[in-house]
Amino acid sequence: MFDQVDLLDVTGPPEVFSLLQRDTVEPTGYQVVLAAETMDPVTTSAGVRILPDTTFAEVAHRAIDTLIVPGAVEVGDDRRVTALVDPAVVEWVRTLAPRTRRVASVCVGAHVLAAAELLDGKRATTHWSTAAQLAAEHPAVTVDADPIFIRDGDVWTGAGLTACLDLTLALVADDFGHERALRVARQLVMYLKRPSGQSQFSVPMKRPSTTRRVDELRHYIAEHAAEPLTVAHLAEQLNVSDRHLTRIFKTELGTTPAAYLESARIEIAKNRLESSDDTIGRIATACGFGTVDTLNRAFKRALGITPGAYRSRFRIA
């Protein structure tokens, strides 16, 4: 931690680790330690002060499993956002990184990793508002502003503020498997967001529902996407008429049942393209599209690219 650090960058990851422990009786092994240059309270960008658990100097003598580096920004009079990098913090990150199994940055914390030369020759992401700055200041880094997070070897970089949750869920999935991470995601009410490399500009499920029964129906669609779901079948799940179901979707989600179903299937397909070695044909079948041609048409309508092109861009190592 350091002065003016983004608050959610610091508090988001520990919340995910804590929810994982809540989900099981067995110890997860995670122990969150907040480190700063001194033991004085750190004032975050939100004005909230946080007490460190230890200092950088003390941590330098300990083994570290995961080093998470948050970020800070400055907003100019022209509303331009600039990532702030403290040289002293950079030197400490440079010192601590070799003692660490993996290093992760949250949001504009990628600028700190880049200044410490930990991203040289690697592909990395950051918040879209500072991606151009990162690329200009560190030409040895391949900056991709699209994904929510990127893993390149033992270095992970995350995008915007709330993407710290997606990034941390990915760390959990790496340690404990996808199912455990999914259960934590549901506790965070992130069941329509994935611990994966989806685009910062993805437009899957834009509007949250406002009633529990629609939430349950969305869960049902996600779990039965491979089946030939019809409006009549979905209406039966809510015990309403076909016409009333269409009105519910229009009011609650701002779309039609058919459009929502296609969006849900596209999201599931994106996840499989990013995280599995399944063939395009197998993914088309598993997600309810039936054929590769149908999957191709849906992807081109929604994303403007083919499933193969999407996989080549967002495939997670």
Name the residue range of residue 180's domain. Answer: 7-187
Specify the higher pLDDT residue, 201 or 149: 149
- Residue 43 has a pLDDT of 97
Catalytic residues: 107
- Residue 37 has a pLDDT of 95
How many C-beta atoms lie closer than 10 Å to residue 207's C-beta?
Answer: 10
Residue 299 has pLDDT above 60, yes or no: yes
pLDDT, tens digit (0-9, with 9 covering 90-100), for 70-127: 999 998 888 788 999 999 999 999 999 999 999 999 999 999 999 999 999 999 999 9
Can you tell me which residue has the tokens 């007490």?
51
CATH of the domain at 40: 3.40.50.880
Q: Is residue 71 part of a domain?
A: yes
Q: Are residues 282 and 155 in the same domain?
A: no
- Contact 135/141 with Cβ under 8 angstroms? yes
Measured between alpha carbons, how far is 208 from 214 in angstroms, rounded to an integer? Answer: 10
Q: Is residue 201 part of a domain?
A: no
- Residue 140 has a pLDDT of 97
Q: How confident is the model at residue 146 (pLDDT cuts 50, 70, 90)?
A: confident
Q: Is residue 118 part of a domain?
A: yes
- Residue 215 has a pLDDT of 76
Q: Is residue 24 part of a domain?
A: yes
Q: Are residues 260 and 163 in the same domain?
A: no
Q: Is residue 203 part of a domain?
A: no
The number of angstroms, rounded, from the C-alpha of 172 to the middle of its chain's C-alpha atoms is: 12
Q: Are residues 122 and 156 in the same domain?
A: yes
The number of angstroms, rounded, from the C-alpha of 194 to the middle of its chain's C-alpha atoms is: 7
Specify the higher pLDDT residue, 113 or 25: 113
- Residue 203 has a pLDDT of 37
3-state SS record for the chain? CCCCCCHHHHHHHHHHHHHHHHCCCCCCCCCCCCEECCCCCEECCCCCEECCCEEHHHHCCCCEEEEEECCCEEECCCCCEEECCCHHHHHHHHHHHHHEEEEEECHHHHHHHHHCCCCCCCEECCCHHHHHHHHHHCCCCEECCCECEEEECCEEEECCCCHHHHHHHHHHHHHHCHHHHHHHHHHCCCCCCCCCCCECCCCCCCCCCCCHHHHHHHHHHHHCCCCCCCHHHHHHHHCCCHHHHHHHHHHHHCCCHHHHHHHHHHHHHHHHHHHCCCCHHHHHHHCCCCCHHHHHHHHHHHHCCCHHHHHHHHCCC
Neighbouring-strand partners of residue 155: 103, 152
Neighbouring-strand partners of residue 69: 105
Across the chain, what does the average pLDDT equal?
87
- Residue 200 has a pLDDT of 45
Q: Which residues contact 21 (CB under 8 A, 6 or more apart)?
A: 27, 28, 30
Q: Are residues 68 and 101 in the same domain?
A: yes
Measured between alpha carbons, how far is 314 from 271 in angstroms, rounded to an integer? Answer: 10
Specify the higher pLDDT residue, 59 or 276: 59
Q: Are residues 220 and 176 in the same domain?
A: no
pLDDT, tens digit (0-9, with 9 covering 90-100), for 204-247: 444 455 567 787 888 888 889 899 999 999 999 889 999 999 99
Q: For 253, phi and psi rounded to 5 degrees?
A: -120, -5
Report the range out of 159-163, 165-169, 179-183, 289-293 with the highest average pLDDT: 289-293
Q: Is residue 55 part of a domain?
A: yes
- Residue 171 has a pLDDT of 93
Is 0.85 surpassed by the pTM of this model? no
Q: Are residues 20 and 148 in the same domain?
A: yes
Q: Are residues 40 and 180 in the same domain?
A: yes
Neighbouring-strand partners of residue 270: none
- What is the number of domains present in the chain? 2
Q: Are residues 244 and 281 in the same domain?
A: yes
CATH of the domain at 260: 1.10.10.60
Q: Is residue 204 part of a domain?
A: no
- Residue 298 has a pLDDT of 93
pLDDT, tens digit (0-9, with 9 covering 90-100), for 194-208: 434 445 444 344 445
- Residue 316 has a pLDDT of 60
Residue 193 has pLDDT above 60, yes or no: no
Specify the higher pLDDT residue, 170 or 104: 104
Q: Is residue 29 part of a domain?
A: yes
Q: Which residues contact 17 (CB under 8 A, 6 or more apart)?
A: 28, 30, 32, 168, 172
- Contact 16/165 with Cβ under 8 angstroms? yes
